Structure 1
């Protein structure tokens, strides 16, 4: 006496899709969720690095390169470059290293200044230059230990010993002022030196 078996129902293709797609969707969502979790964890645990800017405990930030241009009434007064600039908190000052400045006179004559260090007032744009200060004019070279730039009158001045020289002459003084708009240099205090007929101080 044989037993009767009913055949198992065959799942149609459409039913397979109805079951398979939700499973695949759930698996993809799970993988995406795991990926997002590890990405957020890695981001939160890794310090944020910004190129060319370093945070400093005694300063707002430190720039590895500073370039700045100052204009007045559309006319360029100076262009500044420094290899680094440390912006001090609440002091409105930037401490500069390896300073290179081009000053412009009213006639657009260029006067070049370099120094090992500098200080820029970020509000007034007055500047001080320290250590190995060299100013190169069309007709002479000036050397001093300290030099200051006052933006409002557009002058550079030194209150310490200065030396001006060209190939044939050398002049020393206790202080000097260069009025950039007038392209005029004034020497004061124990002015002495070796002069040649060709030596020209504007």
Structure 2
């Protein structure tokens, strides 16, 4: 065999030998990674939580009639407290006349026994043509009432009303403003449901 023929034969053999060595090296490295125990560092365990759920939906009915529909991005059920801590809450309450009251809040708490709720951070209610804003709101299931004990602002297209506290009587389609109430109204304002 000539020297040119040997060179042509040696080059493919060297490449083949290189691929074999690289393949064996990759096999042993991957095998090492798969058999080496993994150590986890800085794991945070919430020992107060019994269960954490993502993207929850819940519907509450009374005598076959829907009272509210709740959606949240997450819910953490707390041990020994009958509470669920909610994040990014979006809830629709239904009045006796089936009017929808939309509530959004950054966080909330649901009592898992009574279904009473407390909402906080960026609390906004849209009710008929009104937009209500407050730092905290409470919902009592048994009387079907939403209330705020903190300062509240009520806006519609033509007016702004502020009060020290408020109740929405869902069974009567009625908003009651309490405490120091002040407002700015235009001639077009139709605030007949506000007391």
* Bucket of the pairwise TM-score, normalised by the shorter protein: 0.7 to 0.9
Q: Give every structure 1 segment of 4 or more consecutive aligned residues whose post-TM-superposition deviation is greater than 3 Å.
A: none
- Within the candidate set 128, 134, 156, 1:166 is matched to 156
What displacement does 1:199 show?
Answer: 3.2
TM-score, length basis structure 2? 0.74
1:183 and 2:191 aligned: no
TM-score, length basis structure 1? 0.71
What displacement does 1:156 show?
Answer: 0.1
- Residue aligning to 1:137: 127
Unaligned runs of 5+ in 2: 1-36, 38-44
What displacement does 1:84 show?
Answer: 0.4
Instruction: Provide the rounded CA distance (Å) in 1 between the counterparts of 2:192 and 2:78.
Output: 38
- Residue aligning to 2:89: 99
Q: Is the 8 A contact 1:140 1:200 kept in 2?
A: no
Larger Rg: 1
1:1-202 alignment, distance < 5 Å: 56-196=46-186, 197-200=188-191, 202=193
Instruction: Provide the rounded CA distance (Å) in 1 between the counterparts of 2:69 and 2:61.
Output: 9
- Residue aligning to 2:22: none
User: Number of aligned pairs?
Assistant: 150
Q: Is the 8 A contact 1:119 1:127 kept in 2?
A: yes
Instruction: Provide the rounded CA distance (Å) in 1 between the counterparts of 2:89 and 2:73.
Output: 7
Unaligned runs of 5+ in 1: 1-44, 46-54
- Residue aligning to 1:36: none
Q: Is the 8 A contact 1:56 1:62 kept in 2?
A: no
